[in-house]
């Protein structure tokens, strides 16, 4: 949206953040803390998570194929590319997920891909990214989902479909200039893939709230307490990111 409007991503989020907040207020919905993942406290929290996972050996660099637009001179991460879904053949699938069938896909899997900003047919080039070892946690996650009696049936079915296909290691970085910077010397040209850093925003938001009320450690009462019940009210396209 920022590219199409010829403005910076910061300008886009500064425009829509208060607009969306007003919409919630007009619906009579209130928040203890209405946050945003562009804040420094979120960047720091997400980077701490990244380093923690990296130091545990769960992030591995891997050279992978990505779509590249020769006209825009950039790798086409996720929603920068559209095409036909290889699963259901919907012609409006994105480079991260097909809204029609819900399948999570990689950009180069799209049939007849095209650059979202200019319509050019992209090339396939190699680039290096860090991958999270999600495949190691298949059985643990299956047991965890099965143990949740309050999960909606459609959420469980969605997750079961992923387990049946087999969980794959997932990239946690992207070739973009906007986003949370990878906190490694060899990753200075990369940012975190939004699926990795955005859910951490719930934690950074409670940190922001705790600081605002003058009790900076209060966020731990929620995230360190095994009795905490966390409820997500989300759209179906976020099931994978918030459940698995």
* SS3 labels along the chain: CHHHHCCCHHHHHHHHHHHHHHHHHHCCCCCCCCCCCCCHHHHHHHHHHHHHHHHCCCEEEEEEEEEEECCCCEECCHHHEEEECCCCCCCCEECCECCCCCCECCHHHCEEEEECCCCCCCEEEEEEEEEECHHHHHHHHHHHHHCCCCCCHHHHHHHHHHHHHCCCCEECEECCCCCCECCCHHHCCCEECHHHHHHHHHHHHHHHHHHHCCCCCCCHHHHCCCCCCCCCCCCHHHHHHHCC
**Whole-angstrom Cα distance, residue 85 to residue 97?**
9
pLDDT digits (tens, 9 = 90+) for 131-188: 999 999 999 999 999 999 989 999 999 899 999 999 999 999 998 889 999 999 988 8
Round the average pLDDT of the chain to a whole number and report it: 91
**Whole-angstrom Cα distance, residue 201 to residue 208?**
10
Whether pLDDT at 209 is above 90: yes
pTM (2 d.p.): 0.84
Whether pLDDT at 60 is above 80: yes
Q: Between the ranges 68-82, 163-177, 179-193, 202-216, where is the mean pLDDT highest? A: 202-216
Neighbours of 114 (CB within 10 A): 18
Residue-level pLDDT at 210: 98
């Amino acid at each position: 949206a920022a590219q199409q409007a010829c403005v910076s991503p910061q300008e886009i989020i500064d425009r829509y953040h208060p607009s969306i907040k007003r919409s919630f207020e007009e619906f009579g919905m209130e928040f203890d803390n209405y946050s945003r993942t562009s804040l420094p406290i979120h960047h720091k929290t997400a980077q701490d998570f990244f380093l923690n996972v990296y130091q545990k050996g769960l992030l591995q660099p891997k050279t992978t194929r990505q779509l590249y637009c020769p006209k825009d001179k950039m790798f086409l991460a996720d929603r920068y590319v559209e095409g036909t879904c290889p699963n259901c053949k919907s012609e409006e699938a994105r480079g991260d997920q097909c809204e029609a069938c819900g399948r999570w896909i990689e950009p180069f899997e799209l049939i007849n891909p095209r650059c979202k900003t200019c319509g050019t047919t992209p090339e396939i080039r190699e680039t290096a990214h860090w991958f999270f070892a999600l495949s190691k946690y298949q059985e643990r996650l299956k047991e965890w989902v099965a143990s949740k009696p309050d999960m909606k049936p459609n959420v469980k079915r969605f997750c079961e479909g992923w387990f049946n296909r087999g969980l794959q290691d997932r990239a946690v970085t992207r070739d973009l200039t906007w986003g949370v910077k990878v906190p490694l010397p060899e990753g200075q040209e990369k940012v975190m893939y939004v699926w990795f850093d955005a859910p951490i925003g719930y934690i950074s938001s409670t940190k922001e709230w705790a600081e605002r009320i003058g009790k900076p450690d209060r966020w731990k009462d929620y995230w360190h307490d095994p009795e905490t019940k966390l409820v997500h009210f989300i759209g179906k396209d976020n099931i994978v990111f918030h459940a698995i």
